[in-house]
Amino acid sequence: MKIAVFVSGGGTNLQAIIDNTKDGILQDVEIVLVLSSSKEAYALERAADNKIPSVVVSRKDFDSIEKWDDAVVEAVEKSGAELVVLAGYLSLLGPKIVSRYSNRIINIHPALIPSFCGAGMYGIRPHKAALAKGVKVSGATVHFVNENYDEGPILLQKAVDVLPDDTPESLQQRIMKECEWKILPQAIRLIADGRVIIENNICYVR
């Protein structure tokens, strides 16, 4: 299966996918495109280091959402990707890419949806909010993407205990290592194997 990975920052989730294509559970998966919302993203270096084609398509370089959305669609179509993976991608996708790739876009979110998600809940913020609420578990969610933040059908979730001396940073690191870097490749595996069915907005793994 050919995939496109969308990034905005450090790209540790991209790295987890790359590592799995080399000697893990995704050896039959090819990353045909890394699309970044920012030219500063370190994820672009990870793509270059691994000879993966990359492109920067930044909302601020276009004078309308429509033109930006068209450019995103064009880049993905040209790449031949069958699945789009949002791996730390922080822009809300435009309506055209969402409808064109309906049920073929997944996102990793660093909390147990429906907690600590939605507009403004990205990066370190869900972890700050989780500690401020005093939750005793948190984790990560892989879900399909619709036109709203963090709202589509949930495919996989994994939890960790919140420890008494956790800081937002320590919780973030533990969730990345123990949850995100595992369930994102696992979700791609399930989709590549045709094991995921969506009915009435609910995901089933068969």
Instruction: Report the candidate in 6, 72, 66, 68 with the shortest Cα–Cα distance to residue 35.
Output: 6
Pick 70 or 159: Cβ nearer ligand GAR: 159
Q: Nearest residue by C-beta to ligand GAR?
A: 88
Pick 145 or 190: Cβ nearer ligand GAR: 145
Question: Considering only residues 11-40, where is the footprint of ligand GAR by CB under 6 A?
Answer: 11-13
Out of 6, 101, 122, 144, name the contact with ligand GAR by CB under 6 A. 122
Pick 87 or 191: Cβ nearer ligand GAR: 87
Out of 108, 187, 192, 203, name the contact with ligand GAR by CB under 6 A. 108
Question: Considering only residues 78-107, where is the footprint of ligand GAR by CB under 6 A?
Answer: 87-88
CB burial of residue 35 (10 Å; 0-12, 13-18, 19+): buried
**For residue 179, what are its two tokens?**
């949850």
Q: Are 108 and 33 in contact (CB under 8 A)?
A: no
Q: Is 53 among the residues that bind ligand GAR (CB under 6 A)? A: no
Pick 42 or 62: Cβ nearer ligand GAR: 42
Rounded distance between C-alpha atoms, residue 129 and residue 119, angstroms:
13
Instruction: Report the candidate in 139, 138, 144 with the shortest Cα–Cα distance to residue 190.
Output: 144
Q: Is 10 among the residues that bind ligand GAR (CB under 6 A)? A: yes
Count of residues of this chain found to bind ligand GAR when the rule CB under 6 A is applied: 16
CB burial of residue 113 (10 Å; 0-12, 13-18, 19+): buried
Q: Which amino acids are annotated catalytic?
A: 109
Pick 77 or 187: Cβ nearer ligand GAR: 187
Q: Are 44 and 33 in contact (CB under 8 A)?
A: no
Q: Is 9 among the residues that bind ligand GAR (CB under 6 A)? A: yes
**For residue 189, what are its two tokens?**
């595996």
Min CB(147)–ligand GAR separation in Å: 15
CB burial of residue 146 (10 Å; 0-12, 13-18, 19+): middle
**What does the binding site for ligand GAR look like in residue numbers (CB under 6 A)?**
7, 9-13, 43, 87-88, 108-110, 122-123, 176, 180
